[in-house]
Amino acid sequence: MRPIVIMPLYNEEETLARVLEEVRRHTRAGILVVNDGSTDGSAEGTASR
């Protein structure tokens, strides 16, 4: 079984790509991003990653 990183997301559109890159660089865990009502387009950015 593979571990999962649960990452809360709230208005992080500008930093989301960098954060996901760093998490992937340091672990082979799956990543579950949970949107907490972002209003800046962050949620849409997760679909493309």
pLDDT category of residue 48 using cuts at 50, 70 and 90: low
C-alpha 35, offset from chain centre:
9
pLDDT in tens, 23-40: 999 999 999 999 999 999
pTM: 0.75
Predicted confidence at residue 31, as pLDDT, reads: 94
Looking at the structure of the chain, the number of domains it has is 1
pLDDT at 18 over 80: yes
Kindly list the distances between the CA atom of residue 14 and the CA atoms of 1, 17, 22, in Å, as whole numbers in the listed order.
Answer: 32, 8, 14
Instruction: Judge whether residue 11 has pLDDT over 90.
Output: yes
Domain range enclosing 31:
4-47
Structure tokens at 15: 């930093």
Q: What is the pLDDT of residue 49?
A: 60
